[in-house]
Amino acid sequence: MADLFIEQAKQYSEGRPSYPEELFQFLASKTPNHDLVWDVGTGSGQAAASLAKIYKNVVGTDTSQKQLEFAPKLPNVRYVCTPPKMSISELEHTIAPQCSVDLVTIATAMHYFDLPTFYQQVKWILKKPSGVIAAWCYTAPEVDPRVDSVFGSLYYVDSRPYWKQGKDLVDLKYETIDFPFEPVDGVDHNGPFEFKAEKLMDLDGYFTYIRSWSAYHVAKGKGVELLTDSVLEDFEVAWNADGKSQKIVTFPIYLRIGKVGLSN
């Protein structure tokens, strides 16, 4: 079982896209100070590594030690394995003091959280009134109509029973996720704002992305292989139809962003 988690974490770090520079520049433009970020659900550090180029210090936390083991080691990033819920005193001890964080980021993870508890922590830890929370997710990747059609059956039909709760919030682009924060300066709403992540992939890389899904591993644990021979073959035919083995895979990103304000 432990090997399964290591394998999943490895597939995750290899198969997932990193996020675009424009996203981080947008976040930086909305935080007056660039001292400290808390990246929650940091996984294998996809966002933490980019944030570390802009902010002096980043604390990346995750409930999975295995995911953290694949995160890049950087001098200004501190990774901590935490329980899913932390008391305020644990938060202060593990992350930072009250009103000390410029930015809380949650990259493709907030739909897993207990939001009332998490938002209390965010409001406690962010600088007032300018501290910013930014939570984003990405939806189904886009390649071309042939590949996307095979993907659609796998993602929306075959894998559906195996996704954790919260998946619908992602499919709805975080439009319906509870997000009680004020618009940041210069905009009149708190999102979703749209960005795109792109990753050059061959078919093996694309399969690695699919195998990094939690749903893939949940299905496997129940004795169900989602990538059956027939699905693999459908993907091969669709992928190779244009004769190009490498393709740009686009992941649409949806960002909710807000500031804590004085009333919170």
Binding site for ligand SAM (CB under 6 A): 16, 40-43, 46-47, 61-64, 67, 84, 107-109, 112-113
DSSP calls for 120-169: HHHHHHB-TTT-EEEEEEE-S-B--HHHHHHHHIIIIIITGGGSPTTHHH
Task: Return the number of the residue (34 or 167) whose C-beta is nearest ligand SAM.
Answer: 167
Q: How far apart are CA 166 and CA 171, in angstroms?
A: 9
Task: Return the number of the residue (36 or 40) whose C-beta is nearest ligand SAM.
Answer: 40
HEC string for 168-213: HHHHCCCCCCCCCCECCCCCCCCCCEEEEEEEEECHHHHHHHHHCC
Q: How far apart are CA 97 and CA 93, in angstroms?
A: 8
Q: How far apart are CA 233 and CA 239, in angstroms?
A: 10
Q: Whole-number minimum distance, CB 95 to ligand SAM, in Å?
A: 11
Tokens of 126: 């962010």
Q: Whole-number minimum distance, CB 8 to ligand SAM, in Å?
A: 10
Task: Return the number of the residue (11 or 61) whose C-beta is nearest ligand SAM.
Answer: 61
Task: Return the number of the residue (61 or 264) whose C-beta is nearest ligand SAM.
Answer: 61
Q: Whole-number minimum distance, CB 234 to ligand SAM, in Å?
A: 26
SS3 label, residue 79: strand
Q: Whole-number minimum distance, CB 122 to ligand SAM, in Å?
A: 12
Q: Whole-number minimum distance, CB 231 to ligand SAM, in Å?
A: 22
| Residues 201 and 5 sit within 8 Å (Cβ to Cβ) | no
Q: Is the dihedral of CA 259, 131, 16, 215 positive or negative?
A: negative
Q: Whole-number minimum distance, CB 147 to ligand SAM, in Å?
A: 22
Q: How far apart are CA 46 and CA 68, in angstroms?
A: 11
Task: Return the number of the residue (64 or 76) whose C-beta is nearest ligand SAM.
Answer: 64
Residues paired with 105 in a beta bridge:
39, 134
Task: Return the number of the residue (177 or 238) whose C-beta is nearest ligand SAM.
Answer: 177
